């Protein structure tokens, strides 16, 4: 199967399309693909454990990363993140591209 690297820059609090993007990630993973969801810009707002979007919590088979710079810019500490979200940087995007993963900016 394929490897997908999805980049989400909006929060579900500003766009209803974001939940569809979460569902796309879940569907790709359920189909046997390796899926990474990278939260950047306002996308990191949904990563906080006390407000985590329901669609984001249910992505069990998806590797989820949150951009450190975006977290810092929004005053979000690592201790506030949902337990299934790892902190990363835009270097992850470059690495995924160099590995030939299919990229989608949602």
- What's the CATH code of the domain at 81? 3.40.1260.10
Within a domain: residue 11?
A: no
Q: Is the pLDDT of residue 29 over 80?
A: yes
Within a domain: residue 8?
A: no
Within a domain: residue 4?
A: no
- Domain that residue 22 falls in: 17-105
Number of separate domains in the chain: 1
Within a domain: residue 12?
A: no
Question: What pLDDT, on the 0 to 100 scale, is given for residue 104?
Answer: 95
* Of 47, 38, 39, the residue nearest 76 (C-alpha): 47
Question: What pLDDT, on the 0 to 100 scale, is given for residue 52?
Answer: 60
Residue 49 confidence class, pLDDT cut points 50, 70, 90: confident
Q: What is the pLDDT of residues 50-104, one digit of tens each?
A: 776 566 777 889 999 999 999 999 999 999 998 889 999 999 999 999 999 999 9
Distances (CA, A) of 93 to 17, 52, 57, 90: 22, 23, 22, 5
Kindly report the CA angle at 64 between 1 and 81, in degrees rounded to 5?
165
Within a domain: residue 70?
A: yes
Within a domain: residue 6?
A: no
């Amino acid at each position: 199967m394929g490897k997908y690297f999805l980049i989400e820059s909006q929060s579900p609090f500003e766009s209803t399309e974001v939940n569809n993007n979460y569902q796309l990630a879940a569907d790709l993973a359920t189909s046997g693909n390796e899926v990474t969801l990278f939260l950047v810009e306002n996308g990191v707002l949904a990563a906080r454990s006390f407000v985590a979007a329901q669609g984001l919590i249910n992505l069990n088979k998806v590797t989820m990363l949150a951009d450190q710079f975006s977290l810092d810019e929004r005053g979000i500490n690592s201790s506030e993140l949902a337990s299934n979200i790892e902190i990363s940087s835009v270097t992850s995007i470059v690495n995924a591209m160099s590995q030939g993963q299919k990229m989608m900016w949602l």
